[in-house]
Amino acid sequence: MANSSTAAAAAYPLLVQRYGVAGVTPPSSSSTATRVFSLPAMKLLDVNLPEEMRGSSGGGGNTFLETPQGLVLVLMTTSSPPASAFLLDPRDGSRVAELPPLGEGELPAHRRCVLSGRPPEPGCGVLVLDLESPALLFCRVGGERWSRHGYDIGCYDLPEEYCSVPKRKQLFDVAGVGGRFYFAENKGELGTLDFTGGGGGGEAVVGAIAIPVLDYFPAGQVMSSSLTFLVESRGDLFLVAIAFEGYNIGGPYDVHVFRMDFSAAAPGPAWRRATDIGDRAFLVGGDNFSGASCSASGCGVKANRIYWINGFSEDEKRNLYVFSVEDGSVETLDTFEPLPGAPRQTPFWLRSNADGQPGSPAMAYSLPDGKTHDDVSLPEMHSNTFLETPQGWVLVLSSSPTPKTTTTTFLLDPRDGRKVGLPPLDENELPTGRKCVLSDSAPDAGAGVVVLSLQGPAVWFCRVGGERWSTHTYDMGYFSLPDEYCAPKKRHLFDVAGGVGGRFYFCEDKGFSLGTLDFTGDGEPVLGAVAVPGGIDDMFPSPDSSGMRPRTSSSRTATWPPHQFSV
């Protein structure tokens, strides 16, 4: 049963079913609402999409094409003047960028739309792919007209008895990164697509970057076929490969994620395996585009996950698969209820442009008034990676949209957007599970910033006004666990308090000592301990009332020599 929701922005990312075929429409609690499956809510909702998107593309009304960047290309075929085109933000119905006019009849029957970058500033490219032939349409934001182009990327390698006439390849999966389009249709190369001229009337230039052939099927593995999806995320280009046994597209599945390293150093550009995509979720396999990325914390979805709809299996078009990049585990969810009389369709993704627009409203619960607000402005916290601190500041890693990503790192006051600069820190260096703590309540010059790994004994440290971050590992011994429960597991810090005289404190030694963590002027960590007589046992009146067994000793102290840290 779906729930009615007027705050559509809080429900993104969405899966939307293309109803309207053969006159079949879904049930809804509102005549203007659209039935969607919300990833943050993990259930069906009725949301009010902008009026420009009602009526469906292909079923009368305006034509609209969703993009991986969260904006929607709309052709206003029902208004005057006809064929006006623009980019729409589906959250609030605002027109983000005007485009040259384009008639519905000029579009191919089967198409996809991709932008060359975000946000869509003047000069940004808008690409519409023909999915049935090697042709495309292109214009620029601020340009004068759309241009149509053909291209040649070779022919499919098909047996002659299967296809006697050579069939030319066409683009299905294109990602826009830093103003350039990329595709991966041929083994051993990464295709590039550029357009000359600034007004939209230039030429399409197809190129290629030589890369090693990507082979993710281990020797002896039975899986031999795969589906691949290109994903742009914070200025980086990723490839998601979902492999399956033989040609059995119904599963089981194996997921692989790779990040393109554009480095010119030997051995040159290549796909590098990614076992952690951080505070991101990738959306792949929808009916409208191949792959998109969103901020997990900003959108309320699970981090380090791949959300996939299998549009190739008739039996699974309603199933949503959620893969963990870290361990490969998968969760299967049933999304849309079967609708009698309607054909099975692959839902399309509709992701919010909010994580690409700093300062876009977010939903939040306010403790002072005890109410939920859906219009809270959180500057710089939608498109970027951010870590909250107990001191009220937010550590933000802001990536620039270029093929070689550069990161600006700073502390942010979320109330007024005030910033305190820090040395740059690449999100790919950080683990998925992490916490951030400051050594002082106010980030003045010299204040320490610590990022803890919650998955192992490692910390990252810098000072306000410092030149770089330093990475350290440490040794606190092992957790006391039965051998039959698990292999020896190293202890690591989960709970550290800062803001107490410039020092960090922790309590990981069962209450017998209060651990201290200091950093020298050169950034070297020094662990110490303050003895706590009696330990944590003194908190409980007696073993009988608490149910706890008395400790055999209550006088030991712990020492943490500095050499137990390493860089």
User: Could you report how far apart the first and last alpha carbons of the chain are, in Å?
Assistant: 54
The pLDDT of residue 378 is 67
Nearby residues of 418 by Cβ (< 8 Å), 6 or more positions away: 412
- Smallest CA-to-CA distance from 396 within 404, 406, 407, 387 is with 387
What's the pLDDT band for 200 if we cut at 50, 70, 90? low
Residues in the chain: 567
Adjacency order of strands within the sheet including 174-177? 174-177, 180-183, 189-195, 204-210
Instruction: Give how far Cα 398 sits from Cα of 124, 376, 426, 481, 566, Å.
Output: 20, 20, 9, 40, 28
The pLDDT of residue 561 is 38
Over residues 78-106, mean pLDDT: 82
8 A C-beta contact, residue 147 and residue 199: no
Alpha helices in 288-375 (DSSP H): 296-299
The pLDDT of residue 60 is 54
| Per-residue pLDDT tens digits for 15-51 | 887 653 333 445 444 445 677 888 888 888 888 788 8
What's the pLDDT band for 196 if we cut at 50, 70, 90? confident
Residue with more model confidence, 64 or 216: 64
Q: Is 424 exposed, middle or buried (0-12, 13-18, 19+ CB in 10 A)?
A: middle
What is the C-alpha to C-alpha distance for residues 546 and 191, in angstroms, rounded to an integer? 67
pTM of the full structure: 0.65
| Per-residue pLDDT tens digits for 378-437 | 666 655 778 899 999 999 987 654 444 456 899 999 888 889 999 998 877 887 778 999
The pLDDT of residue 4 is 38
- Encoded tokens for 57: 């593309």
Please report which helix (H) or strand (E) contains residue 208, including its range.
strand 204-210
- What value does the mean pLDDT of the chain take? 77
| Per-residue pLDDT tens digits for 51-83 | 888 654 444 568 889 999 989 999 987 655 557
What is the C-alpha to C-alpha distance for residues 14 and 35, in angstroms, rounded to an integer? 10
Return the top range by mean pLDDT from 32-36, 258-262, 360-364.
258-262
Return the top range by mean pLDDT from 241-250, 277-286, 358-367.
277-286
Q: Which residues of 456-490 are buried (b: 16+ CB within 10 A; e: fewer)?
A: ebbbbbbbbebeebbebbbbbeeeeeeeeeeeeee
The pLDDT of residue 360 is 45
The pLDDT of residue 290 is 77
Residue with more model confidence, 301 or 56: 301
Instruction: Give how far Cα 304 sits from Cα of 239, 276, 283, 433, Å.
Output: 14, 6, 11, 10
Q: What percent of the chain has pLDDT over 90?
A: 27
- Smallest CA-to-CA distance from 465 within 484, 492, 446 is with 446
The pLDDT of residue 394 is 92
How far is C-alpha 311 from the geometric centre of its chain's CA atoms?
Answer: 21
Nearby residues of 10 by Cβ (< 8 Å), 6 or more positions away: 40, 300, 363, 374
What's the pLDDT band for 269 if we cut at 50, 70, 90? very high
The pLDDT of residue 120 is 82
Map out the domains of the chain as residue ranges. Answer: 64-210, 379-536
Architecture of domain 64-210: Beta Barrel (2.40)
Residue with more model confidence, 532 or 412: 412
For residue 490, the 8-state DSSP code is B
- Smallest CA-to-CA distance from 26 within 12, 41, 37, 39 is with 37
What is the C-alpha to C-alpha distance for residues 515 and 507, in angstroms, rounded to an integer? 6
The pLDDT of residue 366 is 74
Nearby residues of 540 by Cβ (< 8 Å), 6 or more positions away: 546, 548
The torsion angles phi and psi of 70, rounded to 5 degrees, stand at 95, -10
Residue with more model confidence, 488 or 325: 325
Nearby residues of 320 by Cβ (< 8 Å), 6 or more positions away: 15, 37, 307, 308, 309, 332, 333, 334, 335
What is the C-alpha to C-alpha distance for residues 564 and 285, in angstroms, rounded to an integer? 47
Other beta carbons less than 10 A from residue 440's beta carbon: 18
The pLDDT of residue 8 is 54
Which position has the token pair 């620039």? Answer: 400
Question: Is the predicted pLDDT of residue 321 greater than 70, yes or no?
Answer: yes
What's the pLDDT band for 364 if we cut at 50, 70, 90? low
The pLDDT of residue 80 is 57
Question: Is the predicted pLDDT of residue 3 greater than 80, yes or no?
Answer: no
CA atoms within 13 A on the CB side of 29: 12
Which position has the token pair 């399409």? Answer: 204
